[in-house]
Structure 1
Amino acid sequence: MFGFGKKAKKPDGIDILIIKTDDAKNRNFYQVAFPSVYANDIVSMLKKLEKSKLNKREILGDIGGFHLATHLEALTSYDVFDENDLEAQPVMIQDFASILLRRLEAIDESGDGDDADLAFIMGELTMLRDGSYVPPM
């Protein structure tokens, strides 16, 4: 039988990835939300960025030196109890991609970004930001 893989669990669900930041001033972690059907691609791309030499505070700012802490899969809903706490609010993948992309574009424009992964990651983040890869939730 086909269709019983990871994506078949809850294709209409929401995944949340908890990303821990090392030295952030405003946040200790980000909760990044995205549709479950795109989880494998998004998580693998962020793992690649996590292991990349681009994952430095000098390049990514406060997010630099991040690591993936937890992946919550196929949620049907979530509740935010503290609306005033910035960390309590999940960030949509489009917004998170935009944050990362702005920082990587600055490196690319300055000519310091000769890393082989830079073009690939910037392309993936551009598609995430623009909604051409993952439709807005």
Structure 2
Amino acid sequence: MFGFGKKAKKLEGTDILIIKTSEAKNRHFYMVAFPSMFANDIVSMLKKLEKSKLNKKEILGEIGGFHIVTHLEALTSYEVFEENDMEAQPVLIQDFASILLRRLEAIDENGDGDDSDLAFIMGELTMLRDGSYVPQN
């Protein structure tokens, strides 16, 4: 009656972000999947990275210059029809975080990371990669 059932169902689903890359050779977009209950934190962190000066091809490689184009919320299932197409498979948030983190760690080690958001984003990505942010099943 008051929408409480919708909220509970949303927390049990899977969210997917469709992230478009500007100049990638292997992928034109990534579908990043994560549990709905962590959606607000994950989306806000990725939006912060999207707007940051770290979002460049020179820093993030092929993912650099990305932008979030769609947020699909609280999915209960999805079906992949083209198993051989790399872009058809959603990437788990842990794997996507690992890709981003490898790039940012290289910048940090070279001393080129003077951006104030770098430490925050690297901390968030480390927790995502290691499963302390989103529990891995």
TM superposition score normalised by structure 1 = 0.94
The structural deviation recorded for 1:95 is 0.1
Question: Which consecutive aligned stretches of 4+ in structure 1 deviate over 3 angstroms post-superposition?
Answer: 6-9
Distance (whole Å) between structure 1 residues aligned to residue 8 and residue 107 of structure 2: 38
Match of residue 17 from structure 1: 17
The structural deviation recorded for 1:7 is 5.3
Distance (whole Å) between structure 2 residues aligned to residue 64 and residue 98 of structure 1: 14
Match of residue 36 from structure 2: 36
Question: Which deviations, in whole Å up to 9, do the C-alpha atoms of 1:91-114 show, x marking residues without a partner?
Answer: 000000000000000000000001
Question: Which deviations, in whole Å up to 9, do the C-alpha atoms of 1:52-82 show, x marking residues without a partner?
Answer: 0000000000000000000000000010000
Identity rate of aligned residues, in percent? Answer: 84
Structure 2 stretches lacking a partner, 5+ long: none
Q: How many corresponding residue pairs?
A: 136
TM-aligned CA distance change 1:125 to 1:7, over 3 Å: farther
| Contact 1:7/1:36, CA 8 A, preserved across alignment | no
Paired residue secondary structure (2:48): helix
Question: Which deviations, in whole Å up to 9, do the C-alpha atoms of 1:15-67 show, x marking residues without a partner?
Answer: 00000000001000000000000000000000000000000000000000000
Match of residue 49 from structure 2: 49
Match of residue 125 from structure 1: 125
| Contact 1:98/1:125, CA 8 A, preserved across alignment | yes
The structural deviation recorded for 1:9 is 4.5
Amino acid paired to 1:62: E
Amino acid paired to 1:92: L
RMSD between superposed Cα atoms in Å: 1.8
Structure 1 stretches lacking a partner, 5+ long: none
